[in-house]
Amino acid sequence: MSSTTAPSGLARARRGLAPGGSGGGPRKLNEGLNRKSKLSGQTSRTFFWLLLPSVVLLVLIHGYPLVYAGVQATHDGSLIDTGNFVGVDNFATVLSSPAFWKAAQFTLWFTIVGVFGSWAVGLGLALLLRTKIPAGSTFKVLLLLPWVVPIVVSSTAWNWLVATPDSLIPALFRNLGLGTPLFLADPNLAAVLVMVFKVWVSFPFMMMMTSAALASVDTTVYEAASMDGATKWQQFTQITLPMIARSTYISWILMTIFCVNDFPTIYLLNGGGPVDATTSLVVLAYRKVFQDFQTGPGVAIAFLMTLTLVVVSVFLYRQIRKSSVE
Amino acid sequence: MSAVLHAHPESGPSLGVDGPDRARRVLSEAGMRGRWWRFALILAITALVLVPIMVTVILALTPGPNSTAIGLTLENITGVFSRTLAATWLQNSLVTTLSTVAVSVAVAAPAGYVLSRGRSKAVSGYSLLLFVMQSLPIITSVVPLFILFAGMGLVDNLLGLTIIYVGSTMTVATWMMAAYFDSIPISLEEASWIDGCSVFGSFTKVVLRNSLPGVLSTAIFAFLLAWNDYLVAIVFLRSNEIFTLPVGVQSFFQQNVTDWSAVMALAVVMMLPPIIVFATLNKYFSVGGIGGSLAGR
């Protein structure tokens, strides 16, 4: 019995029909509707049970907190107490504070540099590693290490390298006669350092994404192009980039989300300082809630980020789907 | 007949192929030189990139200020284990991470199967929901979860930490599994249905059994996320003996004088497991899978 029922339900699902069966399929599939809907009923029941644990977790870890965060953002409570309803007061407080806009601005720069910096480095290395190099695959693995090693470890190492005037890198600058840069004390230098650190952490991800995309590019195209007299640069801009465009687009999207939500890279390197020069929105929200105990404004900041990201990610998701249909 | 065949390969090189062959040899010499230039370039880049990691290892193996050891030594590492709770933290990290990996794959694999095979509105809606949820900042859910878990005794508790890790790895893990299942032809399942297998049976016996690379890739992803996490751990863990390694290492900085030898020794211990996992399972892992799953949904 189940031997015939299950396949028909799944095969129909595969062809683009609802597992439930009744919803709008071509008429000829509705022949023997009774038997089929019972069979595909079994499929959708199995699907339901297969999906259930994931749905429960999604509701518990993502859904419920999101709703509750909405409640907290409109109350003047603390971690222990919900407090009174204050409407949009928290949002007004947050939106009128210079700290918020400063953090938003830093987050924007951090994201732009993080995405395109790591992409440029990752793309360059992926192109280099695509050519024949002795021990190429070993380098490929070694270059993944910045992404694999815990941020707690790498931020500690970076800290040791730059933190004090006598640390290795400032001492090196001094010996080269370039002065003694205080990477963690000077606001501008600290911002640059955090971004460089982010690129260092993230470029292996971009390298892996690009390598995977490059592997599927047909190399005979290049031979044909060079016979037609295309320069290396033309081959790169006219063939390579368009061929990996979709994967590039997806990697930008993912990295944008990673950068906006990044906490440890910024917080562990410099705690968001000096004088808030490297405070991103996530770090600001964390500080408000867990150090200033202003739960309402803190959650309001996180909620504003969330709303922005929901809108942006739904839009991007549609774009990806559209481009994958074409 | 055989003589003709035999003669052909001998006459071939001496006649027509000579020219291109020489050209190819010249090319390959230039190619060889280019290869070694590129080798030098990538060697220099890799060395520069790995400076922070090499610094960590060297400092961990260099004798501390009060040490009598000469050259490189393991005494920092043995010292940090005997003087601090490092062994407990390591155990906590391992338990949390391995449970996260196991449960996350167990939840994501069946869900990924539904995403891969189902084509209803509800399924594609769920896929969108997963994408939106994973793109939200974890800080938004951390505060409400903290309050919820406090009421259930799950704050300062490794079980509570594991539940959050499973929840936050599950979204991307589901996609990765779905992307892998997409590459398995449905004809395999159809064959098993004809043999009388149920939908669930064919999923476990046919699909899952052929999905080891997909499962490993997802497991590595969950491992990295759980092992490297700092934000959730710092919020949810309060007492010293419940710390995981990232929080443990950070606790060294709260003392007046940072003991760099101890910090670096523990840092080396902390980066070994992910490096070992990557070194051995690297060929199974592809972030292409993460992107591919996004594109395929």
ipTM value: 0.82
Query: What pLDDT does B106 receive?
Result: 94
Q: Report which residue type is found at A1.
A: M
Out of A67, A83, A106, a domain closes at A67
Q: Residue B36: how many CA atoms within 13 Å on its side-chain side?
A: 5
The answer as to whether A162 is a domain residue is yes
Sort out which chain B residues have CB atoms less than 8 A from A60's CB and list them.
Answer: 163, 167
Does the distance separating the beta carbons of A150 and B171 come in below 8 Å? Answer: no
Domain count of chain B? Answer: 1
Distance CA A217, CA A30 (A): 43
The Cα of B172 is separated from the nearest Cα of chain A by a number of Å equal to 11
Mean pLDDT in residue range A211-232: 84
The answer to whether A69 and A303 are in contact (CB under 8 A) is yes
Containing structural domain, residue A231: 97-325
At B219, which CATH number?
A: 1.10.3720.10
The answer as to whether B62 is a domain residue is no
Q: How far is CA A84 from the centre of its chain?
A: 35
A46 close contact with B: CB closer than 8 A: yes
Phi–psi pair at B114, nearest 5 degrees: -65, -45
A157 close contact with B: CB closer than 8 A: yes
DSSP, residue by residue, chain B:
-HHHHHHHHHHHHHTTTHHHHHHHHHHHHHHHHHHHHHHHHHHHHHHHHTHHHHHHHHHHHS--TT----SS-SHHHHHHHHHSSHHHHHHHHHHHHHHHHHHHHHHHHHHHHHHHH--SHHHHHHHHHHHHHHTS-HHHHHHHHHHHHHHTT-TT-HHHHHHHHHHHHHHHHHHHHHHHHHTS-HHHHHHHHHTT--HHHHIIIIIGGG-HHHHHHHHHHHHHHHHH--HHHHHH--SGGG--HHHHHHHGGGSSS--HHHHHHHHHHHHHHHHHHHHHHGGG--THHHHHHHHH-
- Measure CB to CB from residue A60 to each of B167, B190, B291 and give the nearest one: B167
Nearest to B108 by CA among B244, B289, B277: B289
Does the distance separating the beta carbons of B297 and A62 come in below 8 Å? Answer: no
Does the distance separating the beta carbons of B186 and A14 come in below 8 Å? Answer: yes
Give yes or no: residues A212 and A275 share one domain.
yes
Give yes or no: residues A297 and A148 share one domain.
yes
Residues A218-235 as b or e (16 or more Cβ within 10 Å = b): eeeebeebeeeebeeeee
Give yes or no: residues A175 and A271 share one domain.
yes
**Gyration radius of chain A over CA positions:** 26
Q: pTM of this prediction? A: 0.83
pLDDT at B43 over 90: yes
Which two tokens mark A254? Answer: 């993912």
B14-to-A41, A123, B22, B213 alpha-carbon distances in Å: 72, 44, 12, 49
Residue A108's SS3 state is helix
Query: What pLDDT does A141 receive?
Result: 86
pLDDT in tens, B183-194: 888 888 888 888
Query: What pLDDT does B127 receive?
Result: 84
Does the distance separating the beta carbons of A60 and B140 come in below 8 Å? Answer: no
Does the distance separating the beta carbons of B36 and A306 come in below 8 Å? Answer: no
Give yes or no: residues A101 and A238 share one domain.
yes
At A319, which CATH number?
A: 1.10.3720.10
- Measure CB to CB from residue B230 to each of A2, A10, A151 and give the nearest one: A151
The answer as to whether A84 is a domain residue is no
Confidence of residue A116 (pLDDT cuts 50, 70, 90): very high
Cβ neighbors of A82 (< 8 A, separation 6 or more) are A71, A72, A75
Domain count of chain A? Answer: 2
Mean pLDDT, rounded, of chain A: 80
The answer as to whether B97 is a domain residue is yes
Residues A57-68 as b or e (16 or more Cβ within 10 Å = b): bbebbbbebbeb
Distance CA A313, CA A310 (A): 5
Q: Which of A26-35, B131-140, B146-155 shows the lowest per-residue confidence on average (mean pLDDT)? A: A26-35
Q: Bigger pLDDT: B208 or B17?
A: B208
Containing structural domain, residue B140: 85-244+272-296
The answer as to whether A10 is a domain residue is yes
Give yes or no: residues A141 and A55 share one domain.
no
Give yes or no: residues A46 and A194 share one domain.
no
Distance CA B243, CA B240 (A): 5
pLDDT in tens, A37-88: 444 677 788 888 888 999 999 998 888 988 888 888 888 877 777 778 887 8
Query: What pLDDT does B98 receive?
Result: 96
Query: What pLDDT does A292 receive?
Result: 84
pLDDT at B160 over 60: yes
Query: What pLDDT does A37 receive?
Result: 44
- Measure CB to CB from residue A305 to each of B137, B147, B270 and give the nearest one: B137
Does the distance separating the beta carbons of A321 and B297 come in below 8 Å? Answer: yes
For an interface test with A, the pick among B28, B32, B35, B42 (most A C-beta atoms closer than 10 Å) comes out as B42
The answer as to whether A88 is a domain residue is no
Give yes or no: residues A110 and A44 share one domain.
no
Phi–psi pair at A75, nearest 5 degrees: -125, 160
Query: What pLDDT does B256 receive?
Result: 64
A134 close contact with B: CB closer than 8 A: yes
Q: In chain A, helix, strand, coil percent, each to 5?
A: 75, 0, 25
Give yes or no: residues A189 and A306 share one domain.
yes
The answer as to whether A73 is a domain residue is no
Give yes or no: residues A280 and A229 share one domain.
yes
Distance CA A252, CA B292 (A): 13
Cβ neighbors of B246 (< 8 A, separation 6 or more) are A150, A152, B93, B228, B229, B230, B233, B234, B270
The Cα of B295 is separated from the nearest Cα of chain A by a number of Å equal to 6
